[in-house]
Structures are given as structure tokens and as C-alpha cells.
């Protein structure tokens, strides 16, 4: 993000030609995102006009921008800019959440007994429990938490009308990136613990359901968090009670519907069937 090298009095912004194009693009997307967070989504992205964004950039970032600086150089028009802001609003909150998921999952696996079926099953269950908690905590800490649900709803509601537009392409790209991050987490966890998919289904389908579950949980967590969190189950060592959420409960159920441990009775045959099915789709 671009900031002046020294504090400047209000009304004395520096010229845009001192800012690289990629820096200017990031700066203006950041300004647009700030406006969305501050003002909410009552009118979607329509209020993100170049004039308002440029005024804010000059006032708070000390950068003077004109239409000629961006139109045809960075964005084709204002709608193209608004699409990029919407995509940025959608995409960046999920990255920190996934980083924490990977970190806590790695700690669980490092301490787990992976030499037995029971040990691997317990490790998978604990990875799901703590990773889901880390993901939810990260999403609720983001400064966009209050508008995240609205962002998702706004972006998806525009898809039929905006088919083929920059907005529609940005929304689809963001969801593809969400799914790819979930794909990576599931693939890595399954590989380390020793879990394979059941026949006829894919990691991407599991990832799509995990994203849907996250969004549904977020709605109910805002409505009644007393019903979505602090659910006690006897999943700890020697049957000790551990805290779960509706999100982690749902994801555990999904995982075992989609996958099973390697080495279970009949698992090898199931795996061979899955490979054959993948190689010779009907």
C-alpha cells in the first residue's frame, strides 16, 4: 500500500506519477474497501464512484488521482473498478483463516499416533475440531466480519444479470480460489493421516460443501451463537469432553460421508473401485 514518505498537511497530496501503476491499483482498491466497510452495503458497490475514491485517496493517503490516471490504464471504466473492489472484499478474508487452519492441523498431526487405525481416526477428528475453530475465529476477527455475509449475497445475486461481466468473472474467480484452498487443506490432511475418498465423489465437491457450511454457520452464529458454539462431546482422551461448534460437527459428518481411513476392512477394494471409476467415468 502506498503512503507518503513523510506526513503531509491536508490538501497537499503528491502527484500520481510518483506512484507505480500496481501500487496505485492496490491503493485505490484498498480505499474502496475502506468505504464499503465504513458505509455498509445498503447500495452495494454503486457508491464507489471514482470521485469519492479519489477524494479519499488524496485526503487520507496523500495521493492525487485523476480519471486519466486510471481509465484505460488500470480499469476500463468504473464498473470494472467496482468489480475489482468486490473481488478483493471477497477473497482476502479467507486467506488468513486458511493459514491458521493449516497451522493448528499441523500441530495436531505432529503429536498424533498415526500407527493405528484408532490413532488415525482420533487424529482426523481432532484436526477437524481445532481447524474449524481456528477458521471461524479468524473469520470473525477480520475487519470485514460485519459485511461479509452481505458481500457474499450481493456478489452472488448479481451473477445472472452480470453474466460475462468483470463482476461475474471476479466473483467466480474468488469462489474458485476459496475452493482451491479447501482442496489443498483436505488433500494434505488426507495424505498425512491416510484417508481416501469414497467412489464417485471428488475433493472439489467436499470443498464446495465446506464453503457452503461455513456460510450457513456464519448466519446462524450471528442469530444465536449460544446454539452454534460450546457444544460438548466426549471426543477427548479417555472420553474427556471437548468443545465443538455446529460448523465442526457438520464438517466431521461430511468428511466421513465422503471419505474413509486407509486400511479399514474392505478399504483397499473401495480404493481400487474409486480409481477405476475415476479412470473410466460412465
What is the model's pLDDT at position 160? 60
Widest CA span of the chain, in angstroms?
74
Task: Output the pTM of the full model.
Answer: 0.74
Average pLDDT over residues 115-144: 89
Q: Give Cα separations from 144 to 103, 163, 263 (angstroms).
A: 22, 26, 44
Exposure of 280 by Cβ count < 10 A (0-12 exposed, 13-18 middle, 19+ buried)? exposed
Beta strands in the chain (DSSP E): 14-15, 63-64, 195-197, 231-233, 242-244, 259-261
Measured between its terminal Cα atoms, the distance across the chain in Å is 51
Q: Output the CATH code of domain 90-279.
A: 1.10.357
Q: Are 39 and 29 in contact (CB under 8 A)?
A: no
Q: What does each C-alpha distance from 131 to 84, 100, 123, 149, 185 come to in angstroms?
A: 30, 8, 12, 21, 10
- Nearest Cα residue to 132 out of 248, 219, 255: 248
Pairing of strands 14-15, 63-64: parallel
- Express each pLDDT in 223-249 by its tens digit: 999 999 999 999 999 999 999 999 999
- Asked if 94 and 76 touch (Cβ cutoff 8 Å), the reply is no
Instruction: Show Cβ contacts of residue 77 under 8 Å, excluding neighbours closer than 6 positions.
Output: 71
Cβ atoms of residues 41 and 157 within 8 Å: no
**pLDDT tens across 246-260, in order?**
999 999 999 999 999
CB 250 within 8 A of CB 214: no
Per-domain residue ranges of the chain: 14-74, 90-279
Give Cβ neighbours of residue 6 (< 8 Å, ≥ 6 apart).
none
pLDDT band at 150 (very low <50, low <70, confident <90, very high): low
Between 35-49, 50-64, 97-111, the lowest mean confidence (pLDDT) is in 35-49
Question: pLDDT tens digit string along 78-126?
Answer: 888 888 887 777 765 566 668 888 899 999 999 999 999 999 999 999 9
Cβ burial of 245 (10 Å; 0-12, 13-18, 19+) is: buried
Amino acid at each position: 500500500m502506498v503512503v507518503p514518505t513523510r506526513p503531509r498537511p491536508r490538501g497537499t497530496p503528491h502527484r500520481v506519477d510518483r506512484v507505480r501503476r500496481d501500487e496505485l491499483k492496490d491503493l485505490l482498491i484498498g480505499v474502496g474497501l475502506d468505504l464499503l466497510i465504513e458505509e455498509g452495503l445498503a447500495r452495494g458497490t454503486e457508491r464507489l464512484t471514482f470521485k469519492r475514491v479519489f477524494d479519499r485517496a488524496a485526503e487520507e493517503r496523500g495521493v492525487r488521482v485523476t480519471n486519466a490516471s486510471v481509465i484505460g490504464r488500470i480499469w476500463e471504466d468504473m464498473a470494472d473498478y467496482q468489480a475489482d473492489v468486490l473481488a478483493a472484499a471477497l477473497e482476502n478474508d479467507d486467506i488468513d483463516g486458511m493459514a491458521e487452519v493449516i497451522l493448528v492441523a499441523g500441530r495436531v498431526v505432529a503429536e498424533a499416533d498415526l500407527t493405528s487405525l484408532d490413532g488415525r481416526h482420533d487424529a482426523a477428528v481432532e484436526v477437524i475440531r481445532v481447524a474449524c475453530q481456528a477458521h471461524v475465529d479468524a473469520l470473525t476477527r477480520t475487519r470485514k466480519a460485519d459485511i461479509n455475509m452481505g458481500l457474499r449475497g450481493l456478489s452472488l445475486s448479481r451473477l445472472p444479470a452480470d453474466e460475462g461481466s468483470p463482476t461475474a468473472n471476479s466473483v467466480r474467480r474468488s469462489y474458485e480460489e476459496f475452493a482451491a484452498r479447501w482442496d489443498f487443506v483436505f488433500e494434505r490432511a488426507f495424505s498425512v493421516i491416510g484417508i481416501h475418498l469414497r467412489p464417485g465423489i471428488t475433493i472439489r465437491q467436499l470443498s464446495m460443501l465446506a464453503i457452503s457450511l461455513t456460510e450457513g454457520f456464519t448466519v446462524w452464529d450471528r442469530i444465536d451463537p449460544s446454539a452454534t458454539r460450546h457444544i460438548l462431546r466426549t471426543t477427548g482422551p479417555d472420553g474427556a469432553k471437548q468443545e465443538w461448534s455446529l460448523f465442526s460437527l457438520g464438517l466431521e459428518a461430511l468428511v466421513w460421508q465422503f471419505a474413509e481411513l486407509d486400511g479399514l476392512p474392505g478399504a483397499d477394494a473401495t480404493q481400487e473401485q474409486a480409481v477405476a471409476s475415476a479412470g473410466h467415468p460412465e
